[in-house]
Structure 1
């Protein structure tokens, strides 16, 4: 690609809002390509033509056909446009994609038995479009593959296709690995040479994600801190050995949010709109939220909000443990979410035990999610791990300081309160380290102390509201990543580098880990990762469901032998025995 030509990107994803969305990946797949288009990039989204997609897409036309190959069926390619104007390429194969359930699971929440073929075909077609033999007369400069459902594409590119484009695999949650029986290799058209440890093999099975991590030219995660955390044993999910050998190719770029949808000045779900200069109107939203959820009407009480999957990963158990002591203070809690039955029941029991102080709605309600962001005084996100997270960004935009644990994207997007940070603008919320109820309680006490000083509290709110979490910031980071990949290709370097021959004896716990920094302007110094064009710059103004195969943690526990198994981690479902695909 010449310096003056338009950059061409093929963005491969199993889901994209509004046509098909199960979690954060669907939002990323809508927001990032749209921002890249706005920066002048010729970006096209490739995704399966699920029934929900065909129902919503308009003006589709067939642009290519693919013959059956190995065990993969024939398919067509339709072209349309997403509502954002981004061109969409829809992989049309009714035998694989016309289902009554979601992208990864049936109506009963069970993974489709043929997910290996469903997403093997997506990866195969992506690779064909990114090679010299592309039937479109258009070939991307870079192939961007999201999560395990697209992660086999780099393997296909490196295993025989002519003129392959460089590829990057984006990890939205490492726990979802697309694990299937190894004897699927012939059906996928993979050569025997690719079915070993130096290839797609993982604990006697195959892992689509491992294939991507092994064969891709670059690996990117959805936050800089998470890029370091996955190099260590604690969050490496059994892949840390391979990732450590490729650490020079690993980087992290914080996701963005849709700042038009999440804007308190124009949000149609609020009783009173407001901005950084009219924060008094925020109190109207607090009163309305208290009334809607049956909480006692009290302006002085500290109202904490939660909008989350209700899992241990999200730290909901820590909230429950802390609740008796917290409610001995002038504190209220408003919760919206669904998840593990034991946690749902515990929260509902707390609502009965403390009526007027605890309010819980199980399920999801888009309007209520916006009202909690606006009406709460502070927002709780005590996650044990969080690849990126979005609600902490929504909260800052709504002048609702988040209370977060120092992990992943939470560490990268929230600046911990200090008096000095308040003055410089770095302080936007409250951050704590230990995943314990006592650490959470101590942090809530810090929140209450700052809120008791109105001038300091308003400044903290304004600091958060001035942060730029829009997608254009993230997109510029990806632009730099893509260009660095092309420069490397022009120099003739091997983007794969050295490969791991083992299955993942990882670094000692903590190596390449969470890092020290919490602000948006600094990369944590202890992250042992090459940050090649990752951060697009400071975020100040003036970013599941199972995905395929069993979880790696479960599989490794059965077959670990003398190698320490990956830890069990709670994750959102993303389809197919190893999970779906979504953003953290």
Structure 2
């Protein structure tokens, strides 16, 4: 089967979030399952600087906003991506340094609508084998609003490839004024409540939802949640329609086990596996993690539990709940906290203040460090993810793999991947972490207190760790579910 995977970012070329992790791993998993895959994405300035050898394989003219632009398609081999990568090179739109969506001042590029509208047009030309590549896919797998117009454009074609549109986060709708719709010369009959219009604006996310053959999200629970108003951002009507048609499904993301694997991870102090060295190695890794902050020897050798958090410091991720319960937990327990991330300034300030007042108990790193993220997963005892919503989440999957028991709010992919340590689940050997069901300080605190109680019961704790590490959330497992969909749809 031929699959064209369309995305706006892919690790290791460029990354702003989880979409890049998916785009760098899922095509590989397709290929490992003997599918013929091509990944297509924009040729951003920062991407081109990372590549030594690119080859022009096609060029075409494409309609933009009241103008025609020349697009080159470049082929690259990328270390870490096992499939050919096609880069859409339009210097007027993509030859810019830094973030693919935002300028240096933190504001969206003023022409994002044109940039990704034109990118979608090029992807559609490639998918219809009109770009001179002599290759036509059976399926186009488009991702998030930046590729939302791809299924829409292909819906106008005669005998197009089938399309799957994956929603990674409903919070980003790709909203643009009607003037963009007009200047891109999109089909007039798309404009309306049953088409791409959303409160007088063009929604590229809605275009993908309404016009793709199939719609998926990155976890089964998130697929259900987005049919309710509190998660759908006004699009619950069209999502309910796709659900009624049987065209909305959720498939969990996986993790790259060549990168996130405690038995081989080059960024951690001591390797371990579910079968060998887990208990001793995690003690060594805990000390190595804490040593980043130059803490005293008695702290490095302490048996006290360490609770880690790596993520964006924003309300969606529940950092405000963490800040509410931290002072009480510091007074009532011997737990230490390691927090790595960046986000809203007032959250950063509050965490730094706690770190100042409790230098041996609260360790904070504002920013992101890949090495430190790996060391937290290997060295912490518990991992906090109190997100108010989480389409899939990856850190809880990393935590399971590293035997660092996750504490999560029951939403989206967190609810789908962590089995709560109730007495019944413990007795049946199914528990893998700790789940709270109300995004409140009280629920978070009581769940953490329960987790810390079980931390003191070493045999129970080690059994929990072992069960967590035995879970299989590899990308091959996820890719097989996508292929089951592709293969179940008659030609």
Report the TM-score, using the length of structure 2 for normalisation. 0.95
Structure 2 CA distance for aligned equivalents of residues 406 and 121 of structure 1: 39
- Equivalent position SS for 1:333: strand
Structure 2 CA distance for aligned equivalents of residues 222 and 128 of structure 1: 27
CA deviation digits over 1:256-295, x for unaligned, max 9? 1111111112222222222222122211111222232355
Structure 1 unmatched runs, 5+ = 1-6, 491-584
User: For the Cα contact (< 8 Å) 2:338–2:364, is it kept in 1?
Assistant: yes
Greater strand content = 2
User: For the Cα contact (< 8 Å) 1:133–1:162, is it kept in 2?
Assistant: no
Partner in structure 2 of residue 568 of structure 1: none
Structure 2 CA distance for aligned equivalents of residues 156 and 221 of structure 1: 21
Structure 2 CA distance for aligned equivalents of residues 243 and 68 of structure 1: 31
1:17 aligns with 2:18: no
Partner in structure 2 of residue 234 of structure 1: 230
Deviation at 1:134, TM superposition (A): 5.1
Structure 2 unmatched runs, 5+ = none
Structure 1 CA distance for aligned equivalents of residues 103 and 242 of structure 2: 36
User: For the Cα contact (< 8 Å) 1:258–1:471, is it kept in 2?
Assistant: yes
CA deviation digits over 1:94-114, x for unaligned, max 9? 111001232111122221111
Deviation at 1:70, TM superposition (A): 5.2
Structure 1 CA distance for aligned equivalents of residues 189 and 438 of structure 2: 45
Structure 2 CA distance for aligned equivalents of residues 443 and 302 of structure 1: 15
Higher relative contact order (CA 8 A, sep 6+): 1
Partner in structure 2 of residue 37 of structure 1: 31
User: For the Cα contact (< 8 Å) 1:351–1:360, is it kept in 2?
Assistant: yes
Partner in structure 2 of residue 529 of structure 1: none
User: For the Cα contact (< 8 Å) 2:46–2:96, is it kept in 1?
Assistant: no
Structure 2 CA distance for aligned equivalents of residues 326 and 176 of structure 1: 35
Partner in structure 2 of residue 268 of structure 1: 266
CA deviation digits over 1:20-78, x for unaligned, max 9? 11111111101000010000010100101112222233432222222132535221111
CA deviation digits over 1:213-240, x for unaligned, max 9? 1111110001110000000011111111
Q: Among 130, 135, 140, which residue is 2:137 paired with? A: 140
Structure 2 CA distance for aligned equivalents of residues 101 and 263 of structure 1: 30
1:334 aligns with 2:338: yes
Structure 1 CA distance for aligned equivalents of residues 27 and 162 of structure 2: 18
User: For the Cα contact (< 8 Å) 1:13–1:149, is it kept in 2?
Assistant: yes
1:480 aligns with 2:484: yes
Deviation at 1:18, TM superposition (A): 0.9
User: For the Cα contact (< 8 Å) 1:416–1:431, is it kept in 2?
Assistant: yes
User: For the Cα contact (< 8 Å) 1:50–1:97, is it kept in 2?
Assistant: yes
Q: Among 167, 170, 179, which residue is 2:175 paired with? A: 179
Q: Among 166, 179, 189, which residue is 1:193 paired with? A: 189
User: For the Cα contact (< 8 Å) 2:62–2:121, is it kept in 1?
Assistant: no
CA deviation digits over 1:460-512, x for unaligned, max 9? 00111111111111110111121223x2xx3xxxxxxxxxxxxxxxxxxxxxx
**Residues 148-163 of structure 1 correspond to what in structure 2 (within 5 A)?**
148-159=145-156, 161-163=157-159
Report the TM-score, using the length of structure 1 for normalisation. 0.80
Which of structure 1's runs of 4+ aligned residues deviate more than 4 A?
none
User: For the Cα contact (< 8 Å) 2:401–2:470, is it kept in 1?
Assistant: yes
Residue correspondences, number: 480
